[in-house]
Chains A and B, each alone.
Chain A
């Protein structure tokens, strides 16, 4: 595609050669094992069928797979106009047989969900086997990426064998809906593109200082007074359910973050006395700081809110934030100072912060919640040397850890910065094998200071794909960023074809350019 065209201008005549090479390597992220040959089979929307294997533990009626069949049929045959999972009426259809070893399929993807799959494409059929429906979803994605269209518009697939599994179980993407409100459609589209890149955790940084768009059942004033607009810039319970279901059908967990005690300015509008009043000298200045950790009412509120949140969000993890707490307001407040003295904290405000966090976690715990039995720490700060040290330190202490520091892709620069994301080595730090195993994955973060619905998609894609491959694929096989370039260029065109507004890596073109503005 685009890369071919670039080359064409460098070396006239090479285009023909390259045009003949089947681009079967263009599965993104790169499967752990893939063997393919030049042998290809033509496909037709009129003779193509998904079916459950006779021995499969999952049959029709499994909505995760039924809907995936519909979805992938349209993705494989974009000109078919969509609908249907193939025509059983054809005499000899190409059959994709899906064999899932274990149910259920009405559950949610979770930590530890097995995403392994095997895919064999041979004459007249493809066989996809997996342990869970989540693995089947990953396999369907790979299958759909194996299908190509020749110059005459005919579809074909090459003889292929894939055995695949993710390198890391946690492959996340963070969106920030507080600094800018993201319309539901933008979130759903992002989930689609995540599935195309085999990312499996949507980290929803739903509230923060600037706005509180989550419409709480128990505390409706939080969004009524804390959102940018109480009707147009909020997520209703229906919206949230829709996001969770859309994600579930794509094997994606939704991890909600309710960051406190800092980053909570917007909470204060709808919840009086939740935040610490800051003082100037002896009088309240009228501004507010972090959550007030010395009032019992705080913990009652937090417990209620988190009880609601844990019932709304089915994932067993809630992200509790806890970053960047500014102590200056606490320091200014005489009641806090008195409390510090009483507790014997001296002037060490980190002790106050440490007092707050476990206490409200415990409050939540009392309600029989799903909150993390063991805390996963996320590393988001620093340069490679720094985060490598941090990885080493945290894993040495036996904590599991997630890496985000190199993947703050809201930070943009001129040129191909995806290359930096791609060359990250999450387990490259000094530590034992056991320590390295404690790295459970990583997360691409798109913080919202400069991002809203107008520019989110092209800023995310295909830049996030670089991290997606790093988190899924074998590091040795995918060590060359130059080899990744033509594959990612190709994959980006595929994303465009699927309606994802993915920006170009470099000069060139796609057969089907983006059709919006």
Chain B
């Protein structure tokens, strides 16, 4: 039978299966070479929890009887909106295709049914009204038994991760049209993330991304236990962020001042939607390069470039020699510090082109005065240094791209250095240098998912590991995680979601699961199912290879 790939096909097999949660008719799963894979007795959990135990027992769930409840003694109750919203969301995911109560038709012979999932927040402060942070506790324990399953977590953030795992344990024992029961396996495990910073970068400047697309991707991120949305919100091409203090920035610098902007209400919605899913929103306002679009709405911010002795009419990076520049930045980042609640702001600092600075006589004069000679990286550092002081004064920490570190800018020790350049050897050396200097770091180089190629390139993303570099244990501990980046040159609402998913899922597992989780053929089979799960939940995640999902994407 050529039915390969995705889903479970079994009827009676289900109840007899030993330790099997997923049975494959004839073991029909194909690997990337078109070979069938066999004996897939595993759960299609993604990312794989730190520890899974599954037993031979499976239970039923019924849409009409099943409930999420707050456990007695939990520090979160019905006033915890994060959990209340999550209960509704996961109920939909679990029973999405079986809302009509068809479950009465067949009962498990043993009659074992899970009637509720009790959620217990075990620490005194559940953080229901807080924002997730770099130090948030995302650990949880889940045990499934009848009639009650129990999810324990110190904080709501862990409960969210546990709910996702719980929803992934549930599957439809379809193909048996009569009994469309949901069945669940008995499992216990303490789970927690390997890295604290697990991010996805979206670029809303090269192409404007409608709010709907950003929200859908936050949904998908939660399904993959991502916890940071790195919002590369502005760049050369457009400035869609509507600033209260400097409205001209988007009025004149966006693709369109009304249809291609993010209003304060939009930004608030993104942040709250993310918070509900335990996702931080880290805004990036990249300077002094990548700022062409800022120039339209902020006079004198950019350096005028010269041809010979006269201005050429074009502009370069932010002009670092004017006091007005720093006044502007102080006002702007003060606003940003109140709009974005996260403790970190990403300040960019990458790819500064010096040619315009070099052409400008005022800049040259300034260089002489400061004794910088011809070393324009010193001028860049001069700017960054002042910017960092400005941002520090708003009580924010900062992330910067690796160039800022490479150029020797004096950085506070809590600065996060974002590594993005080079080949494998080069980024590994950079990770060693950055951590050797005592800074915390995160990796993106192997996870530039905007770069596509034919075939299963998720495998390369999966194999990369942020801790693969030469360094001491203390250095390794300074690696806080990584980010999958989807730069926007060739991506907009039309193709973003299938390009990102399930390729970003590969990165998600690398960042969540134990370092030892590296079996790529096991990953393949789980990921095939996980991508179908995303498709069923309305995310157009593209296929890994030939095959099918029981419920194909219907949003065409």
B455 within 8 A of A: yes
One of B489, B497, B548, B556 near A185 (C-beta < 8 A): B556
Taking CB atoms, residues of chain B closer than 8 Å to A414 are 450-453, 490
**Number of A-B residue pairs having CB atoms within 8 Å of each other in the complex:** 177
Interface string of A179-209 (1 = CB under 8 A from B): 1110101100100000000000000000001
Q: Is B543 within 8 A of A509, CB to CB?
A: no
Q: How far is the CA of A457 from the CA of B451 in the complex (A)?
A: 19
B412 at the interface (CB under 8 A from A): no
A11–B312 Cα distance when bound, in Å, is 10
Q: Mark A481-517, 1 if CB is under 8 A from B, else 0.
A: 0000000000000001000011111111101011111
Interface residues of A in 392-409 (CB under 8 A from B): none
Q: How far is the CA of A5 from the CA of B254 in the complex (A)?
A: 10
Partner of A9, one of B237, B451, B496, B541: B237
Residues from 191 to 232 in A contacting B, C-beta threshold 8 Å: 209-212, 225-226, 228-229, 232
Does A266 count as interface, using CB distance less than 8 angstroms?
Answer: yes
Q: Are A180 and B498 within 8 A (Cβ)?
A: no
Question: Which residue from chain B places its CB closest to the CB of A226 in the assembled complex?
Answer: B2
Q: Which B539-556 residues have a C-beta within 8 angstroms of A?
A: 539-548, 550, 552-556
How close is A22's CB to chain B, nearest CB, in angstroms? Answer: 20
Given A501-B494, A503-B494; A509-B455 close (CB under 8 Å):
no
Give the CA-CA distance A23 to B553 in the complex, in Å: 36
**Closest approach, in angstroms, between the C-beta of B542 and any C-beta of chain A?**
4
A303 an interface residue at 8 Å Cβ cutoff?
A: no
Question: Does B342 make an interface contact (CB < 8 A)?
Answer: no
Flag whether B1 is at the interface (Cβ < 8 A): yes
B508 contacts chain A at the CB level, 8 A cutoff: no
Q: Say yes or no for B166: interface residue by CB 8 A criterion.
A: no
A181 touches B548 (CB 8 A): yes
Question: In the complex, are the beta carbons of A454 and B256 less than 8 A apart?
Answer: no
Complex alpha-carbon distance, A89 and B207, angstroms:
43
Q: Is A82 in contact with chain B by the CB < 8 A criterion?
A: no
Q: Which of B126-134, B208-216, B281-289, B390-398 contacts A (4 or more CB under 8 A)?
A: B208-216
- A119 at the B interface (CB under 8 A): no
Contact (Cβ within 8 A) A5 B542: no
Knowing A210-B2, A503-B492 touch, does A448 contact B546 (C-beta < 8 A)? Answer: yes
Mark A121-154 against chain B: 1 for CB-CB distance below 8 A, else 0.
Answer: 0000000000000000000000000000000000
What's the Cα separation between A6 and B550 when bound, in Å?
43
A427 within 8 A of B: no
Q: Which residues of chain A are within 8 angstroms of B296 by Cβ–Cβ distance? A: 12
| A334, B216: Cα distance in complex, Å | 57
Interface size on A, residues (CB 8 A): 62
Indicate which residue in B206, B498, B535, B541 contacts A458 across the interface (CB closer than 8 Å): B498
| Chain B residues whose CB sits within 8 angstroms of the CB of A372 once the complex forms | none
How many Å lie between the Cα of A416 and that of B490 in the bound state? 8
Are A452 and B2 in contact, with the CB atoms below 8 A?
Answer: no
How does the 8 Å CB contact mask read for B514-537 relative to A, with 1 for contact and 0 for none? 000000000000000000000100
Question: Is A180 within 8 A of B546, CB to CB?
Answer: yes
Q: Is the CB of A517 within 8 A of B493?
A: yes
**Contact B210 A513, beta carbon cutoff 8 Å:** yes
Given A210-B4, A228-B3, A414-B453, does the pair A503, B543 have CB atoms closer than 8 Å? Answer: no
Question: Is B255 positioned at the interface, with any CB of A under 8 Å from its CB?
Answer: yes
Task: Answer yes or no: A411 CB below 8 A from chain B CBs.
Answer: yes
Of the listed residues B206, B236, B556, the one surrounded by the most CB atoms of chain A closer than 10 A to its CB is B556
Q: Is the CB of B494 within 8 A of A450?
A: no
**B255 and A515 contact, CB distance less than 8 A:** no
With contact pairs A180-B548, A228-B3 given, residues A454 and B543 touching in the complex (Cβ less than 8 Å) = yes
B60 in the interface (beta carbon within 8 A)? no
Cβ–Cβ < 8 Å partners of A11 in chain B = 313-314
How does the 8 Å CB contact mask read for B478-496 relative to A, with 1 for contact and 0 for none?
0000000000111111111
Select from chain A the residue with minimum beta-carbon distance to B502: A454
B292 interface residue, CB < 8 Å from A?
Answer: yes
Per-residue CB proximity of A235-275 to B under 8 Å, as 1/0? 00000000000000000000000000000011001000000
Q: Among the listed A211, A451, A508, which residue makes an inter-chain contact with B207, where contact means beta carbons less than 8 Å apart? A: A508
Main secondary structure of the interface of B (DSSP, over half): loop
Number of residues of chain B lying within 8 A (CB) of chain A: 61
> Knowing A269-B1, A454-B535, A517-B540 touch, does A228 contact B492 (C-beta < 8 A)?
no
Binding site secondary structure of chain A: loop
Alpha-carbon separation in the docked complex, A189 to B260 (Å):
27
Which of chain B's residues have a CB closer than 8 A to the CB of A412? Answer: 452-454
The answer to whether A211 and B548 have CB atoms under 8 Å apart is yes
Residue among B3, B207, B256, B497 making CB contact with A517, cutoff 8 Å: B497
Contact A450 B548 (CB under 8 A): no
In the complex, which residues of chain B have a beta carbon less than 8 angstroms from the beta carbon of A368?
none
Shortest CB-to-CB span from A362 to chain B, Å, is 29
B453 (CB) vs chain A CBs: closest residue:
A413
* Chain B positions within 8 Å of A453 at CB level: 540, 552-556
Which of A181, A452, A515 lies at the interface centre, i.e. has the most chain B CB atoms within 10 A of its CB?
A: A452
Task: Decide if B293 is an interface residue (CB 8 Å cutoff).
Answer: yes
Evaluate contact between A454 and B553: CB separation under 8 angstroms.
Answer: yes
- Contact pattern, A 1-45, Cβ under 8 Å of B = 1, otherwise 0: 000011001111100000000000000000000000000000000
Q: Which of A9, A225, A229, A509 contacts B208 (CB 8 A)?
A: A509
A-chain residues with CB within 8 Å of residue B4 when the two chains form the complex? 210
Assess whether B238 is interfacial by the CB under 8 Å rule.
yes
Across-interface contacts of A226 in B (CB, < 8 A): 1-2
User: Is A455 located at the chain interface by the 8 A CB criterion?
Assistant: yes
Q: Is the CB of B490 within 8 A of A229?
A: no
State in angstroms the CA–CA spacing of A180 and B546 once bound together. 6
* A504 proximity list for chain B (CB < 8 A): 207, 490-492, 494-495
**Chain B residues whose C-beta falls within 8 Å of the C-beta of A448 in the assembled complex:** 546
| A contact residues around B452 at 8 Å (CB) | 412-414
Q: List, in ascending order, chain B residues with CB within 8 A of A517's CB.
A: 212-213, 216-217, 493, 496-497, 538-540, 555
Question: Hey, which chain A residues are within 8 Å of B293, CB to CB?
Answer: 9
Expressed in whole angstroms, the Cα–Cα distance for A219 and B256 within the complex equals 57
Task: Note all chain A residues with C-beta closer than 8 A to B545.
Answer: 449-450
B241 to chain A: closest CB distance in Å?
Answer: 15
Chain B 236-277 per-residue mask, 1 if CB under 8 angstroms from chain A, else 0: 111000000000000000011001100000000000000000
**Closest B residue to A9 using CB positions:** B292
Please tell me if A233 contacts chain B, counting CB pairs below 8 Å.
yes
Among B495-512, those with CB < 8 Å from A are 495-499
The smallest beta-carbon distance between B501 and chain A, in angstroms, is: 9
Shortest Cβ distance from residue B118 to the other chain A in the assembled complex, whole angstroms = 34
Q: Is the CB of A269 within 8 A of B2?
A: yes
In the complex, what distance in Å separates the CA atom of A232 from the CA atom of B550?
Answer: 8
Q: How far is the CA of A511 from the CA of B496 in the complex (A)?
A: 18
Q: Bound state CA distance, A181 and B553, in angstroms?
A: 10
Q: Is A61 part of the binding interface, using a Cβ–Cβ cutoff of 8 Å?
A: no
Tell me which residues across on chain A come within 8 A of B541, comparing CB atoms: 454
A6-B237 in contact (CB<8A): yes
How far does the alpha carbon of A505 sit from the alpha carbon of B1 in the complex, in Å?
A: 40
A185 to B554, CA, bound (A): 8
| 0/1 string, A95-113, CB within 8 A of B gives 1 | 0000000000000000000
Q: Please, which residues of chain A bring their CB within 8 A of the CB of B546?
A: 179-180, 210, 448-449
**CB < 8 Å neighbour of A452 from B259, B491, B553:** B553
B547 touches A180 (CB 8 A): yes
Q: Name 27 interchain pairs, CB-CB below 8 A, sorted by A.
A: A5-B255, A9-B236, A12-B313, A179-B546, A180-B546, A180-B548, A210-B2, A212-B2, A226-B1, A228-B3, A269-B1, A413-B454, A414-B451, A450-B543, A452-B542, A452-B543, A453-B552, A453-B554, A453-B555, A458-B498, A459-B495, A502-B494, A507-B206, A509-B255, A515-B493, A516-B212, A517-B539
17 more A-B residue pairs beyond the given contacts A10-B314, A457-B494, A509-B207, with a C-beta to C-beta distance below 8 A = A12-B296, A212-B2, A232-B550, A413-B453, A452-B548, A453-B540, A453-B554, A454-B541, A454-B553, A506-B489, A509-B208, A509-B255, A509-B256, A514-B492, A517-B216, A517-B217, A517-B493
* The 10 nearest A-B residue pairs measured at CB: A458-B495, A455-B498, A454-B540, A509-B255, A228-B548, A503-B495, A455-B542, A517-B216, A514-B493, A514-B494
